Copies of this chain bind each other. A is one copy, B any other.
Amino acid sequence: MNADKIPDIIIGRLPIYLRALQRMVDKGIQTTSSQELGERVGISAAQIRKDISQFGEFGKQGTGYRIPFLMDKLREILKVDRIWDVAVVGAGDIGHALARYQGFVDRGFRIVMVFDNDQSKVGEQLGEFVVKDTSVMIEELQKADIKVAMLTVPATAAQEVTDMLVKAGIKAILNYAPISLNVPEGVYVQHTDPVTHLQRMTYYL
């Protein structure tokens, strides 16, 4: 296994497999096949076998995959066999939704701070967090050694806030703002956007 050589597109599918496997475990299913997993995620069995075999031999011909074992391996590969502290920047609607979202538990992430520059929001109780002022953000992120942030500020502010996050040592940004962010090498951005999901479905209508 040479991690550097594995295409990002394969890495992008592993979290989808992990989520589907979790749902199977939740239903009491303990073993699966590439065929069954493929049907659940809409990816061919051959592709799944090929993707997973990049990292080692985690299943057996004929008997398939033992789900808890495969999940452990995927968590290890994706480095979510630990807990990443996450900062939310922007305490608007999406920031609120994320601070209350129950789906982070047991999946490798824990929100620990929420920031906003709007003085009417600073100090507000948001779930279990008190919204902090963006003016102290760089210092707070560095002190807590946070590497992951979710960015939910308006598009007009997104690049400026991103520059602050980079300065603070953030290495992974999930961007909810509808613009492209410029970041230096070694900082990763994923964009989340409802329209790309919708467009993928209208193709079939």
Contact = CB atoms under 8 A, between A and B. Distances in A.
A44 B93 CA distance: 35
Contact of A192 (B44, B98, B192): B192
Contacts of A202: 78-80, 84, 108, 148, 172
A167 interface: no
A18 interface: yes
B172 A19 contact: no
A102 interface: yes
A13 to B, nearest CB: 9
A144 interface: no
A174 B188 contact: no
A185 to B, nearest CB: 11
Contacts of A107: 195, 199
Copies in the complex: 2
Interface string A1-35: 00000011101101110111001000000000000
* Closest 4 pairs (CB-CB, A-B): A93-B97, A172-B201, A15-B196, A15-B199
24 contacts: A8-B42, A9-B47, A11-B203, A15-B196, A15-B197, A19-B193, A23-B180, A79-B202, A79-B203, A93-B94, A94-B97, A102-B178, A104-B194, A104-B195, A108-B195, A108-B199, A148-B201, A171-B201, A172-B201, A172-B202, A174-B197, A188-B205, A190-B198, A190-B201
Interface of A: 7-9, 11-12, 14-16, 18-20, 23, 40, 42-44, 47, 77-80, 84, 86, 92-94, 96-98, 100-104, 107-109, 147-148, 150, 155, 171-172, 174, 178-180, 188, 190-205
